[in-house]
Structure 1
Amino acid sequence: MSPFPYRDPWAKREAWRKHPVFSNRAMFANLFPGFGIAVVAFSAYVLADNIFLSKRSQEVSHH
C-alpha cells in the first residue's frame, strides 16, 4: 500500500510545473530578454552623442 492515502494519478504529468525553470524568478528574468544589453548600448550612445555634440557646439560657437 502507498504511504499516501490518496495517490494522485496525474502527479507525473504535473511534475513539470514544479521544475525550477518555471519558477516566478526565472519567468521574470526571461520576461525582457536583452534588456540589460539594450540599456548599456543606449547609455553608451547617449553619452557618446552628448560628448560629440558638446564638442561640436563649442566649435560652432567659436566661429
Structure 2
Amino acid sequence: MPNPIFRDPWANREAWRKHPVFSNRAMFANLFPGLGIALVAFSAYVLADNMYLSKRTSEISHESHH
C-alpha cells in the first residue's frame, strides 16, 4: 500500500492520459479515416478499367486484322 504522504493529488485528473483511446495505435488508426475504403474502391476501379480496356483493345486488334 502506498504511503499516503506520497499520494498524487492530481492522479484522478491525469488518468485520461492512460486511456486506450489516446494510445499510439489508436491515434495512427484514425489518422486517415476512410483511407481503407478509398483504396479498395480505387483498386476495384483500376481492375475493372484494365479488364474493360484489355477486352476493348483485343476487339479493335481483331477488327484491324480482318
Which TM-score band applies after superposition, normalised by the shorter structure? 0.7 to 0.9
User: Helix, strand or coil: the match of 1:9?
Assistant: coil
The one-character-per-residue Cα deviations of 1:18-54 (angstroms, maximum 9, x if unpaired) are: 1011111111111111111111111111100000000
User: Helix, strand or coil: the match of 2:12?
Assistant: helix
Give, in whole Å, the separation in 2 of the partners of 1:4 and 1:24: 32
- Mean CA deviation greater in 40-49 or 3-12: 3-12
For residue 4 of structure 1, report the CA deviation from its aligned partner.
4.1
Give, in whole Å, the separation in 2 of the partners of 1:24 and 1:4: 32
* Equivalences for residues 1-63 of structure 1 within 5 A: 3-63=3-63
TM-score, length basis structure 2:
0.79
From the two aligned structures, give the one with the greater helix fraction: 2
Give, in whole Å, the separation in 1 of the partners of 2:53 and 2:11: 63
User: Helix, strand or coil: the match of 1:31?
Assistant: coil
Q: CA RMSD in A?
A: 1.5
Query: Looking at CA atoms only, which structure, 1 or 2, has the larger radius of gyration?
Result: 2
Identity %: 77
Give the ranges of 4+ consecutive aligned residues of structure 1 lying more than 3 Å apart after TM superposition. none
Give, in whole Å, the separation in 1 of the partners of 2:19 and 2:28: 15
Structure 2 gaps of 5+ residues are none
